[in-house]
């Protein structure tokens, strides 16, 4: 850890990374057995497992940094919604398959850039996780951007649904790209990236695929925020209730 950032800030930052992976991984796992085709069902389950794997490593490290003996399971299963630090975008409901793809696409465009920068993190743990995660995110991006093009430039119906999905999710994209105090502290310590530098790269990625998808980029209006500091939409509580129910009903159970 670099001296410039306090342990508390690093802990918060690790929760943001870990919780974002965990919540999105859980959301995608809700598709298991319900995908539009067997092959896509497996593809989404694969992506979900990648994300949950990342969450384990990040929350494990977060527990170490926090230093009061909490394991990754304690952090994942025994925190309530207001202690979660995931982006609001990833807790949004799955909707129809196009909604899920649009959410994934907007996130993947960010994740590919974020994790590429994190491979150069001054924090050796984060850099090691990033070395693995970046390959996963590159594949996720390929999957979601491919589907954006197929559905956006598909039938009139699929085009209209994808445009509606984009409009619905767009207000949740600002939070990813707008730095706050914790992001700034991480940047100063060279642990995290400069979000201001990621924003144009995100826009370029998203813009190129939207053009190919024949979809219209929504206007940047009011942007939702709060996930990074624990203020969530009502959807997170329901997700956590399901995700945590077994662990809370049978504390300490192993299998």
Q: Which is nearer to another protein, 76 or 209 (CB)?
A: 209
CB of 128 to another protein, least distance (A): 20
- Burial of residue 194, with CB atoms counted within 10 A of its CB: 0-12 exposed, 13-18 middle, 19 or more buried: middle
In the complex, the smallest distance separating the C-beta of residue 145 from another protein, rounded to whole angstroms, is 12
Question: Which of 33, 16, 137, 177 is CA-nearest to residue 94?
Answer: 33
Closer CB to another protein, residue 131 or residue 200?
Answer: 131
b/e code 9-37 from CB counts within 10 Å (16+ = b): bbbbbbbbbbbbbbbbbbbbbbbeeebee
Longest dimension (CA), the chain: 55
* Count of chain residues binding another protein (CB under 8 A): 13
- Work out whether 39 is an interface residue with another protein (CB under 8 A): yes
Minimum distance between the CB of residue 220 and another protein, rounded to whole angstroms?
32
46 binds another protein (CB under 8 A): yes
**Which C-beta is closer to another protein: that of 7 or that of 146?**
146
Question: Residue 37 interacts with another protein (CB under 8 A)?
Answer: yes
Interface region with another protein, contact rule CB under 8 A, candidates 41-49, 128-136, 175-183, 206-214: 41-49
Shortest distance, position 162 Cβ to another protein, whole Å: 16
| Residue 5 DSSP class | S
Q: How far is CA 107 from the centre of its chain?
A: 6
* Residue closer to another protein (CB basis): 40 or 73: 40
43 belongs to the binding site for another protein (CB under 8 A): yes
Going by C-alpha positions, the residue among 93, 205, 97 that lies closest to residue 141 is 205
**3-state class of 176 per DSSP?**
helix
Could you give the string, one character per residue 134-153, with x where binding to another protein holds by CB under 8 A and - elsewhere? -----x--xx--x---x---
Q: Which of 166, 153, 172, 175 is nearest to 229 (CA)?
A: 175
Asked if 204 is part of the footprint of another protein (rule: CB under 8 A), the reply reads no
Residue placing its CB nearer to another protein in the complex, 73 or 153? 153
To 10 degrees, the CA torsion angle through 231, 237, 240, 245?
Answer: 140
List residues near another protein by CB under 8 A. Answer: 36-40, 42-43, 46, 139, 142-143, 146, 150
């Amino acid at each position: 850890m670099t001296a410039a950032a306090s342990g508390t800030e690093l802990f918060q930052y690790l929760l943001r990374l870990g919780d974002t992976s965990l919540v999105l991984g859980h959301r995608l796992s809700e598709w298991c057995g319900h995908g539009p085709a067997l092959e896509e069902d497996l593809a989404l389950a694969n992506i979900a497992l990648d994300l949950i794997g990342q969450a384990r490593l990040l929350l494990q490290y977060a527990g170490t940094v926090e230093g009061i003996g909490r394991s990754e399971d304690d952090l994942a299963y025994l925190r309530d919604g207001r202690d979660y630090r995931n982006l609001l975008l990833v807790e949004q409901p799955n909707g129809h398959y196009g909604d899920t793809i649009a959410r994934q696409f907007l996130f993947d465009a960010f994740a590919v850039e974020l994790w590429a920068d994190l491979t150069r993190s001054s924090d050796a743990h984060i850099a090691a996780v990033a070395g693995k995660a970046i390959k996963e995110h590159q594949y996720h991006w390929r999957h979601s951007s491919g589907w954006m093009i197929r559905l956006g430039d598909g039938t009139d119906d699929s085009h209209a649904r994808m445009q509606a999905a984009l409009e619905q999710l767009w207000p949740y994209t600002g939070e990813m790209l707008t730095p706050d105090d914790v992001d700034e502290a991480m940047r100063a310590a060279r642990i995290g990236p400069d979000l201001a530098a990621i924003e144009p790269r995100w826009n370029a990625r998203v813009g190129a695929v939207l053009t190919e998808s024949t979809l219209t980029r929504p206007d940047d209006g009011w942007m939702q925020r709060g996930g990074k500091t624990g203020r969530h939409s009502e959807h997170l509580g329901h997700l956590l209730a399901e995700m945590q129910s077994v662990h809370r009903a049978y504390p300490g159970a192993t299998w």
